Structure 1
């Protein structure tokens, strides 16, 4: 009965979903493109041959970046196979294009309508489906099972909050989660919750985000920026969400470091103008990363010479570029991870740790509970309660270089210690692919 209601609701929701795409496209044009793909219609160019097709679904930017080491390893282990990368957001799709170019095919995942999902599966004929982290679509799971497509939930996480919501559906939830061929969980607590929801063949393999390596050229770019900024204290507020930038600016105003520079990096590109206007309303001099340095700064990044200094009266540098988060971390003395001052679940702190930056994170981290607890226990991170607490801890760290250095070293060691999940995941996935014609790792 619940399944029938769910499918019927999608017939109501689908037109509204298209309307929402058009509304969102007013701020981010990509939402009005490729709408047919969201109903299972193929993109203009689909390669058709007998090679196995590995389909990886990564909903947005974070999942796409987390999937990069795995996709690269799959292509190396099975050069005979093709890869399809699906997304739900234009920013995720753009990230996939940036990371892989023409080496993979890409399209949007269809809405969870039976005819749309069947059309998608008939078009692409995947040999294996891989969904990242938390993507659970009941109809998609049912149709993959009916089409005999192994579907694996990888890097899987299940927060206590999400578990309580899913558990309310009882047997219906167990049937949905039981439809995955394998579930590869990040932590024992994730595995326990997923098993309680009916998942079969569950294994704990760790978090693949620890295997995301910041390219050396990004680190060099950040170091050059740091030289160009000068001797003043620098902190980055990364991946901030709507309503959170005001709280970050409250903390900045209370910070006992009047010469400090804040690098403010909103998570969603369509909000850059909105955040810039907010900063200016606070009476702060804001410069966008896209306006700073140009060719001179690029030369500085290449030569490690800071010949494009940031004006001293700039107090907020707006990170309005894509794919440079690692450089923003490398340019900073301390990193605050957004999505955590409001009840939004937090964002990934691992990339900052891997660069060797002391990490601060707010109280709301239910999407990254285990990573946060482990980072705090390792001395790599400090959890703050609110904006005033954020200002206090920032001030303490700016005043104590030895503590910053120790936290940075602990962060690097923490990130290194937890690597290896990608290889363990790869070993499982290769057993599910057709063997003839392939080259095993």
Structure 2
């Protein structure tokens, strides 16, 4: 039954996919131009490689990660994997230009970094022939039907690490369960953050026997490089006034930059904005200049003319963790005007008070656990930002900061457990 269902899913998918690719190629090219993707080996997406196949690793652990967030999880997994099983060759395959850039910069030198192939049969087939994976590892819940089906046909085990599934995603999949269950039924091993994720995956077709609760790699600080203050970062911040408190909005989405910056107009701290997507720099700068700020971009840094009325925008990729170490208060983006929030763990690990908007559903149950111990403050709206910042800067949140770090310790060792659960012998 599963094979029959999979056949029809792939048939429809392979009829529709080329049309979608043609429609999407224009916007995709524009996005790559903005993100600097061209000139980075992007032809690998259609199976054209600079490296001769004779010099490629084979029998690899093939790790598929989409963008920056998934790549950072993959890098933690790889570090633990290589420490435990140094004989394994690893290929890391991000999808986006920003994810690829982070992988190239941060992956160990013995890890082959490529762009993940477009999910067309002939492209996927070429990749599988080139690297002859002994197993696939998908990070989180990214699903490509041809990649999975062709790996299954070749008896390549399909595994998933950090397989979080939100209630909202479960509801969406339930509506098309007949289409997705044959795909999810191909998973051989799945490491999930908690028991609730286990139940949700089972409800959409993953075998109970395939699932193991491992904890969340995102929240596991074991072996992670702690956020650290960098002298060059501090020198830039000092240009806005030595000793000023730093209020840092992390991974913001459209509209949130202006919301935070407007709330900070009446506050004494330095407003620092870290947009989720660096290529939005011009849009962000325009929004902040309309509020009367002198906007300084990290990519074009100069000493502000009037530090008291300046705002600092960190338009870089892969530096978020260490910028967080310089914050006195962290405000989490995608939680006010976006949906689901961004990862608060780096701010918690940095030991700073954390403020969020009303929607942090992407990081449950962690956020509820943090709230219970006073380790995070979730606001009802952006109108409450100024008052919350004043409370945090007054030192009123110090006990909650320590309690939040204790909550993170519950996921200690999740990366190692995930490797043990997923590795195929």
Structures share fold, TM-score greater than 0.5: yes
Correspondent of 2:43 among 31, 36, 60? 36
1:304 is matched with which residue? none
Q: Match of 2:165?
A: 158
Give CA deviations for 1:316-375 in whole Å, capped at 9, x if unaligned: 111123332122222111101111112332111111111111111112223222222222
Instruction: Tell me: CA distance 1:214–1:183, structure 2 relative to 1, closer, same or farther (3 Å).
Output: closer
Q: Which runs of structure 2 are paired with 1:70-219 in the superposition (5 Å)?
A: 70-100=77-107, 102-200=109-207, 201-212=210-221, 215=225, 218-219=228-229
SS at match of 2:296: strand
Q: Conserved in 1, the CA contact under 8 Å of 2:227 and 2:325?
A: no
Distance 1:224 1:216, change over 3 A: farther
Q: State the secondary structure of the residue aligned to 1:263.
A: strand
Q: Does structure 2 conserve the Cα–Cα contact (< 8 Å) formed by 1:214 and 1:351?
A: no
Match for 1:25 among 32, 54, 64? 32
**Displacement after TM superposition at 1:380 (Å):** 1.4
- 1:354 aligns with 349
- Counterpart in the other structure of 1:423: 416
Q: Which moved more, 1:119-128 or 1:107-116?
A: 107-116
Question: Which among 312, 319, 322 is matched to residue 314 of structure 2?
Answer: 319
Q: Is the 8 A contact 2:192 2:212 kept in 1?
A: yes
**Which of 238, 241, 246 is the matching residue for 2:253?**
241
Q: Which runs of 5+ in 1 are unaligned?
A: 294-307, 434-441
Q: CA RMSD in A?
A: 2.5
Shift of residue 105, structure 1, vs aligned partner: 0.9
| TM-score calculated relative to the size of structure 1 | 0.86
The corresponding residue for 2:65 is: 58
* Residue pair 1:21, 1:31 contacting (<8 A) in 2 also: no
CA contact (8 A) 2:189 2:422 kept: no
Q: 1:39 and 1:50, CA in 2 relative to 1: closer, same or farther beyond 3 A?
A: closer
CA distance in 1, matches of 2:380, 2:250: 17
- Residues of 1 paired with 2:316 and 2:368: CA distance? 30
Q: CA deviation at 1:45?
A: 4.6
**Cα offset for 1:225?**
6.5
Q: What's the CA shift string for 1:115-151, capped at 9, x where partnerless?
A: 2222221121111111111212222211111111111
Report the alpha carbon displacement of residue 181 of structure 1 after superposing the two structures with TM: 0.8
CA contact (8 A) 1:69 1:211 kept: no
Which runs of structure 2 are paired with 1:228-307 in the superposition (5 Å)? 229-253=241-265, 256-257=266-267, 259-292=268-301
SS in structure 1 opposite 2:274?
Answer: strand
- Give the number of aligned pairs: 413
Please, which moves more after superposition, 94-103 or 182-191? 94-103
SS, match of residue 27 in structure 1: helix
Indicate conservation of the 8 Å contact 1:218/1:324, yes or no: no
Task: Name the SS of the counterpart of 1:218 in structure 2.
Answer: coil
Within 2, Cα distance between the matches of 1:292 and 1:219? 18
| Cα shift at 1:406 | 1.8
TM-score, normalising length from structure 2?
A: 0.89
* Gaps in structure 2 of 5+ consecutive residues: 1-7
1:367 aligns with 362
